[in-house]
Structure 1
């Protein structure tokens, strides 16, 4: 699919139902998908048939038919196994996505597989089919607009399905509203801001109150969330890049390399090198 990333958008339906008749190109594509990788685009997968086992940011998920999942560009993922699969996939870069949708997609990341009701599955299947037809009409005068608008409509539908699961801000408790604001600031600042006091200041709250809200809403302290976000990015870099542990520490805002090493071991239960060797081995 990604070989035809036209105007920052790609879409197609793929069938992986009979391994014995796959051609060399399909087998090669599957082998690539089995390796941990990160895309420079927003990826959506509609599983129309079969079962897929996938790992996203070191968490394993089973996706069953009539399900959809969204993968953010920052997330590392790989296919673990799949059985009799038919999947429709589309991918869009930041420039091709509606700016409003970019913000909403950040809010639902990380996204777990979402099982669609029969009506919703039928609607999005039909919409995917139409978008694929548009993608093949490259001689049309408004080809890029047709492709962009149809894929944005698909993205909007996915966002709306995830949003229905979440409570609206109007109904959310004060604890949940504060926690959501904290997470948004954390995502933008975790490399530069490491202390709960930094986030409390940005939110114009006292440290105890911020911690009370976050702990009440999530069960974990502000410090824990900061550490977990940093270590997640460290894991991604350890697996996906060839940077040394010291270079990764620096990239994540730690000039004190021994401190970073101790933090990684404390949070994960193993050294950074042990993690890299285990995941790559």
Structure 2
């Protein structure tokens, strides 16, 4: 039986998160979940309050991130943006290092890269890189536990940013560097940033083109060339992703969700959902909760 909930749960980590940083290292076995309640709590879908990295040092885990399932073997790292909804589906005796950090404590350049990376798939690591990451993480964890030190927070913050910098260097190896972006890529990238901030209020390609001070046709050309999709498709895709999150992870009515996503015309929203997904919003909810 699902618990009634009107919003997606947010993992606020522990009390130290009032400083904007939380760090932990855990060994987790499937046998640790002795009751159904323990298993339900461990596998509950949620968002994290900060920018979060899960560094898998040992074992295997299956996770779901925004309806995409990933089977991950160590060594690997999972990066999660605060907007992303995720849950653990299965584990096989894992050792995982976790760090969550607020945007206020992130190096400004790193924050920009993290926003650009999202969403990104989990990253497999070489043994050499895994050892380097483990060493830096242990330093972060050491500073995290030395709360009585006069230099506690500066040391913690700087060491965490060092770890993030190294992790980002690994993610960027498989990403196209911005210096090599074409004009089309740069326009498409800026559009995606605007879309992430405005998808609830701006629904038309022309509104985004106006913000970019370019024509709608040129915006479509750039986005199509860079991503393979039209501007309208990406707008609808982002809206439907949020609708799916709310349908699956909350008990809000379809009408409430439509309103939250900026649609006062409820029938139009239901038609849009059916057109994009091939099923109605109600069917999606029932199908995924069976």
TM-score by length of 2: 0.88
Q: What is the root-mean-square deviation of aligned Cα atoms in Å?
A: 2.0
Secondary structure in 2 matching 1:5: helix
- Equivalent of 1:112 in 116, 121, 137: 121
Secondary structure in 2 matching 1:255: coil
1:104-253 equivalences under 5 Å are: 104-253=113-262
Provide the C-alpha distance between the structure 2 equivalents of 1:53 and 1:196, rounded to a whole number of angstroms: 37
Give the unaligned 5+ runs of structure 2. 1-11
Secondary structure in 1 matching 2:71: strand
* CA pair 14-268 structure 1, distance change in 2 beyond 3 A: same
Secondary structure in 2 matching 1:95: helix
Q: Does 1:9 align with 2:21?
A: yes
- Equivalent of 2:277 in 247, 268, 274: 268
Provide the C-alpha distance between the structure 2 equivalents of 1:261 and 1:5, rounded to a whole number of angstroms: 42
- For 2:5, the equivalent position in structure 1 comes to none
Provide the C-alpha distance between the structure 1 equivalents of 2:20 and 2:103, rounded to a whole number of angstroms: 8
* CA pair 99-242 structure 1, distance change in 2 beyond 3 A: farther
Provide the C-alpha distance between the structure 2 equivalents of 1:258 and 1:23, rounded to a whole number of angstroms: 43
* 1:140 positional shift: 1.2
Q: What number of residue pairs does the alignment pair up?
A: 277
Between stretches 149-158 and 243-252, larger displacement belongs to 149-158
Provide the C-alpha distance between the structure 2 equivalents of 1:225 and 1:56, rounded to a whole number of angstroms: 19
* CA pair 233-147 structure 1, distance change in 2 beyond 3 A: same
Provide the C-alpha distance between the structure 2 equivalents of 1:2 and 1:171, rounded to a whole number of angstroms: 38
- Deviation string 1:173-202 (CA, Å, 9 cap, x unpaired) is 222122111111111111111111111222
Provide the C-alpha distance between the structure 2 equivalents of 1:213 and 1:278, rounded to a whole number of angstroms: 37
Provide the C-alpha distance between the structure 1 equivalents of 2:104 and 2:226, rounded to a whole number of angstroms: 34
Provide the C-alpha distance between the structure 1 equivalents of 2:33 and 2:241, rounded to a whole number of angstroms: 37
Provide the C-alpha distance between the structure 2 equivalents of 1:137 and 1:195, rounded to a whole number of angstroms: 52
Give the unaligned 5+ runs of structure 1. none
* 1:209 positional shift: 2.1
- For 2:9, the equivalent position in structure 1 comes to none
Provide the C-alpha distance between the structure 2 equivalents of 1:125 and 1:100, rounded to a whole number of angstroms: 23
TM-score by length of 1: 0.91
Provide the C-alpha distance between the structure 2 equivalents of 1:109 and 1:167, rounded to a whole number of angstroms: 14
1:252-263 equivalences under 5 Å are: 252-263=261-272
Provide the C-alpha distance between the structure 2 equivalents of 1:133 and 1:14, rounded to a whole number of angstroms: 15
Provide the C-alpha distance between the structure 1 equivalents of 2:48 and 2:144, rounded to a whole number of angstroms: 21
* CA pair 226-46 structure 1, distance change in 2 beyond 3 A: same
